[in-house]
């Protein structure tokens, strides 16, 4: 009876393993069924392998602490039954759990244990697996030379023993290192070798991943037609096996390719990537997508949408960081359950306490750093006033608000006259000083009036105000210009001493008449040109009615 049940269990586990990558939840259900049968009939070895299969499914589901828990429960069984094969598989999965949480020291500890057992058992397959895993640790730690040493040693074992699927994976890892180093020919060679094996084995999921990588190489060398061919091949393949996680990367790459061709369909692929990331709650992918969408909208000068997605990126990024720190503590807690009170237990307990303390401090530091980063994203580094991105965003909002309230507004484009001559006279450090002084002077005016002011680029600034008529606008423009003239900044050119002055071009009127933010900027820029043509140190203001 037990023999029949054992056979049934192994058949279930074999089926579970085959679908783990594409149907991880179903795989877990099947493994759990095998586990319950093993417990019912007191089949300890089968129970251990069922836990290994459950850990494997948890890996595909990205449930890392549960993956570690299943691995360590299996390890206890295999140590009690002196099963070397099961012990290696359990240790390897425990190491992978730590690797996924970026806890490389702990991961390496487990992988080295696997390596010891594998060499004692002369298990070439596990030797190749664990050497590849150690290589991945070194790659993630940016130690490419050491990573390649392990990858090539693992590759030789695979080739000598015809472990073709492992060989394909390692070839892909080697190709990735060369790609990251900008060695595209070498990278292409290894990717294609991997791809040939995968085609023979008809591994749809991994083939899709390699096709995506091949597309990235083609894009990097500006062979955009080839890149498109590879990307869409990868997309079709990954959607066929319904793997949304890996499809997100392909969709992002297609969007980048479309943007490169100025094709508006890029947004279709971006939105699909965002939808997939949200459906499977892949927070790292969501973070990447939101940041990319924010940058795309900024290029489109849709600053409101850009800021909206930047905030989403910011919030998810903070959540991920907090979650990563929490995962580290959770993993150490899981391991603590399976260690008896001894020196190793005390060391792990101390490490856990250190991680909890570090988490508290790190979260505080991250919150503070993120606040600074968000501020810097919208602040001019030199002068500390709002930058071009911030000005565009504020202007769009101001125009919308003025349209709603049927309000009037004025916008000035301000330029420092003969700034190059000032730089030539005093040098660039003094030029920076001049920019700061002018910015501070106008900022003081803006602060008192509660208007908006920022640096648009170089020696050019933008100032705008609401609820103001033509006469008030002209008076304000002249006041700004005169206050800058009192700064006592000067330069010498052709033996003549000149004071630093500014030219101002502006437009004013009802928001409905002035048009969009970009049209207002364009109109003000024309008036700035007129101010300079009129001899500089002038305020030229146009009323649009």
Structure tokens at 454: 């920022």
Structure tokens at 434: 């001049």
Q: How confident is the model at residue 307 (pLDDT cuts 50, 70, 90)?
A: confident
Mean pLDDT of the 467-486 span = 95
Domains of the chain: 388-544 (3.30.70.270)
5 class by beta-carbon count within 10 Å (0-12 exposed, 13-18 middle, 19+ buried): middle
Return all residues near 520 (Cβ < 8 A) that are at least 6 apart: 395, 399, 411, 507, 514
- State the chain's mean pLDDT as an integer: 87
Q: Residue 142: its pLDDT value, please? A: 82
Separation between Cα atoms, residue 22 and residue 466, nearest integer Å:
57
Nearest to residue 277, comparing CAs of 238, 249, 240?
A: 249
DSSP one-letter code for 499: E
* φ/ψ bin of 42: left (φ > 0), alpha (ψ from -120 to 50), beta (otherwise): left
Separation between Cα atoms, residue 272 and residue 265, nearest integer Å:
11
At 139, give phi and psi (nearest 5°): -65, -45
Separation between Cα atoms, residue 518 and residue 40, nearest integer Å:
73
Q: Residue 331: its pLDDT value, please? A: 57
* φ/ψ bin of 536: left (φ > 0), alpha (ψ from -120 to 50), beta (otherwise): left
Nearest to residue 317, comparing CAs of 286, 360, 344, 276?
A: 286
Rounded (5°) CA angle 489-495-496: 45
Mean pLDDT of the 168-190 span = 95
Separation between Cα atoms, residue 296 and residue 306, nearest integer Å:
8
Nearest to residue 337, comparing CAs of 63, 116, 94?
A: 94
Nearest to residue 351, comparing CAs of 369, 362, 336, 340?
A: 336
| Beta-bridge partners for 452 | 464
Name the most confidently modeled range: 258-272, 290-304, 374-388, 520-534: 520-534
How far from chain centre, in Å, is Cα 441? 39
Q: How many helices (H) and strands (E) does the chain have?
A: 23, 7
Q: 3-state SS of 349-407? A: HHHHHHHHHHHHHHHHHHHHHHHHHHHHHCECCCCCCECHHHHHHHHHHHHHHHHHCCC
144 class by beta-carbon count within 10 Å (0-12 exposed, 13-18 middle, 19+ buried): middle
Whether residue 402 contacts residue 408, with contact meaning beta carbons closer than 8 Å, is answered with yes
Statement: residue 92 has pLDDT above 60:
yes
510: helix, strand or coil:
strand
Q: Residue 348: its pLDDT value, please? A: 47
DSSP one-letter code for 469: -
Separation between Cα atoms, residue 540 and residue 283, nearest integer Å:
51
Nearest to residue 313, comparing CAs of 368, 230, 370, 354?
A: 370
Separation between Cα atoms, residue 4 and residue 317, nearest integer Å:
51
453: helix, strand or coil:
strand
Rounded (5°) CA angle 50-131-210: 85
| Beta-bridge partners for 462 | 413, 454
Tell me the pTM: 0.62
Whether residue 294 contacts residue 309, with contact meaning beta carbons closer than 8 Å, is answered with yes
Share of the chain above pLDDT 90, in %: 57
Containing H/E element for 505?
A: strand 502-510
- pLDDT per residue over 138-152, tens digit each? 888 788 998 999 999
User: How many other CB atoms are found less than 10 A from the CB of residue 346?
Assistant: 11
Mean pLDDT of the 319-332 span = 58
Return all residues near 114 (Cβ < 8 A) that are at least 6 apart: 88, 91, 92, 95, 126, 129, 130
* Distance between first and last Cα of the chain: 94
- pLDDT per residue over 267-277, tens digit each? 899 889 988 88
Q: Residue 341: its pLDDT value, please? A: 42
Higher pLDDT, 356 or 409: 409
Q: How confident is the model at residue 357 (pLDDT cuts 50, 70, 90)?
A: low
457 class by beta-carbon count within 10 Å (0-12 exposed, 13-18 middle, 19+ buried): exposed
Separation between Cα atoms, residue 509 and residue 170, nearest integer Å:
66
Whether residue 134 contacts residue 111, with contact meaning beta carbons closer than 8 Å, is answered with yes
Whether residue 297 contacts residue 306, with contact meaning beta carbons closer than 8 Å, is answered with yes
Cα Rg of the chain (Å, integer): 32
């Amino acid at each position: 009876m037990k023999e029949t049940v054992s056979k049934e269990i192994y058949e279930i586990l074999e089926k579970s393993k085959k679908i783990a990558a594409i149907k991880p939840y179903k795989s877990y259900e099947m493994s759990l069924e095998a586990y319950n049968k093993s417990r019912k009939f007191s089949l300890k070895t089968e129970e251990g392998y069922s836990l290994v299969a459950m850990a494997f499914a948890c890996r595909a589901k990205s449930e890392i602490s549960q993956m570690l828990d299943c691995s360590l429960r299996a390890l206890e069984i295999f140590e009690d039954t002196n099963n070397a094969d099961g012990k290696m598989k359990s240790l390897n999965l425990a190491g992978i759990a730590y690797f996924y949480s970026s806890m490389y020291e702990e991961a390496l500890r487990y992988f080295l244990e696997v390596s010891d057992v594998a060499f004692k058992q002369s298990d070439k397959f596990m030797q190749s697996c664990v050497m590849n895993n150690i290589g991945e640790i070194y790659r993630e730690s940016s130690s490419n030379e050491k990573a390649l040493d392990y990858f090539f040693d693992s590759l030789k074992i695979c080739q000598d023993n015809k472990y073709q699927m492992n060989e394909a994976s390692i070839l892909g890892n080697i190709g990735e290192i060369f790609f990251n180093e900008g060695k595209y020919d070498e990278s292409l060679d290894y990717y294609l070798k991997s791809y040939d094996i995968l085609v023979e084995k008809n591994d749809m999921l991994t083939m899709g991943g390699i096709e995506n990588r091949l597309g990235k190489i083609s894009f990097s060398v500006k062979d955009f037609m080839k890149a498109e061919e590879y990307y869409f091949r990868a997309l079709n393949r990954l959607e066929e096996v319904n793997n949304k996680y890996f499809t997100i990367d392909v969709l992002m790459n297609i969007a980048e390719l479309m943007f490169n061709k100025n094709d508006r369909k890029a947004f279709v692929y971006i939105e699909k990537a965002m939808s997939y990331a949200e459906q499977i709650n892949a927070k790292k992918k969501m973070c990447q997508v939101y940041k990319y969408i924010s940058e795309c909208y900024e290029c489109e000068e849709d600053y409101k949408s850009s800021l909206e997605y930047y905030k989403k990126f910011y919030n998810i990024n903070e959540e991920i960081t907090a979650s990563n720190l929490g995962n580290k503590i959770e993993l150490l807690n899981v391991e603590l359950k399976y260690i008896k009170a001894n020196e190793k237990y005390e060391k792990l307990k101390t490490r856990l306490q250190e991680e909890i303390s570090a988490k508290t401090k790190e979260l505080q530091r991250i919150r503070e750093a993120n606040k600074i980063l968000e501020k810097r994203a919208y602040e001019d580094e030199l002068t500390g006033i709002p930058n071009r991105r911030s000005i565009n965003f504020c202007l769009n909002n101001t125009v919308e608000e003025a349209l709603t309230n049927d309000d009037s507004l004025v916008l000035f484009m301000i330029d420092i006259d003969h700034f190059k001559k000032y730089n030539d006279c005093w040098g660039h450090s003094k030029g920076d000083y001049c920019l700061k002084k002018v910015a501070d002077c106008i900022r003081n005016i803006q602060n008192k009036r509660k208007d908006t002011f920022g640096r648009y680029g170089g020696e050019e600034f933008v100032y705008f105000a609401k609820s103001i008529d033509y006469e008030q606008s002209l008076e304000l423009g002249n006041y700004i210009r005169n206050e800058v003239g009192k700064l006592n900044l000067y330069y010498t050119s052709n033996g003549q001493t000149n004071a630093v002055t500014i030219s101002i071009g502006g437009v004013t009127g009802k928001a409905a008449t002035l048009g969009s933010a970009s049209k207002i900027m364009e109109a003000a820029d024309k008036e700035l040109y007129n101010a300079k043509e009129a001899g500089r140190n002038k305020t030229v203001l146009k009323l649009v009615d």
